Structure 1
């Protein structure tokens, strides 16, 4: 559906359940993005995929390498509020070998272009765990700013951590 130099974004479909199930049950992948580290059955993942692909208030895309038939992650706009022109963004690079190589930044660029140029959203927001410095750095690079923090909101690895709220606005994105 969308392409950049190295990746394509295509709509998630029910055939993606196996790969998403692998990522969803990998504690190393989910530690930085999922509030719960629950283990899911394949049937639960299949139902989750059916729900997100059938919902009018979400748009979910697999991140695929251009030069290979390989999915490396997922990026989504959820809780889309068409009246107030905003949506929440979620991104997971599920294949750890592709972390810190710019794929997340490319995927965010594609989804933000779509959000602001095609959907005409005013604001895209997200939540990120305060210990996920790599993700925070990415979000700041593409123009997100911190809006606030829920302190001691997540207990992970024996410690309390905050959840930071960040946003990017159409006007600033288009000027930047």
Structure 2
């Protein structure tokens, strides 16, 4: 599988990415719309998270998203909770470099990941969770073909208000038909 498109490419995440990932995890503007916890993390916390949760598991595949022109890391994308027997996974994406926001890099990265999930891994279903107040992300997921599957009502508290955690999913045939 060639992990690249017109503007981006993926490479496997390594422990060498901990410092950069830690900066993204501690940027509240980056995490407000994607992380249920707005805790601050030490580099040691992030190293442990990356080593055990991201790299130390056979049920996840995590990649750093690189700008092809500059080779600059701009985000992370993962398939987590991979269930090969039932051909399911959950995806997560964070564009950590804010100057890349709103320019289609998330769409490009998600399409690359879904190509891999459905064409190489032969998954049947990919799901994700998104906060109801993250309308830009919801619009992106709908544009790609994700369907609303439900919501955990008032499960996230941000900026003095409750929001839902929306569950969305896309099936292999839906993605391939819309491609």
Please say whether Structure 1 and Structure 2 have the same fold, judged by a TM-score greater than 0.5. yes
State which of 113, 126, 129 in structure 2 corresponds to 1:111.
113
Superposed CA offset, 1:82-115 (max 9, x none): 1100000000000111001000000000000000
State which of 154, 159, 177 in structure 2 corresponds to 1:175.
177
Superposed CA offset, 1:150-176 (max 9, x none): 111111111111010000000111111
Matched residue SS, 1:49: helix
Which residue number corresponds to residue 74 of structure 1?
Answer: 76
Q: State the TM-score, normalizing by the size of structure 1.
A: 0.98
Across the two proteins, how many residue pairs are aligned to each other?
A: 176
1:165 aligns with 2:167: yes
Counterpart CA distance in 2 for 1:174 and 1:33 is 27
Which residue number corresponds to residue 26 of structure 2?
Answer: 25
State which of 144, 152, 155 in structure 2 corresponds to 1:153.
155
Displaced runs of 4+ in structure 1, greater than 2 A? none
Q: State the TM-score, normalizing by the size of structure 2.
A: 0.97
Per-residue deviation, 1:69:
2.2
Counterpart CA distance in 1 for 2:55 and 2:3 is 17
Please list, as runs of the form range in 1=range in 2, the aligned pairs for 1:17-56 lying within 5 A after superposition: 17-51=18-52, 52-56=54-58
Please list, as runs of the form range in 1=range in 2, the aligned pairs for 1:130-145 lying within 5 A after superposition: 130-145=132-147
Which residue number corresponds to residue 127 of structure 2?
Answer: 125
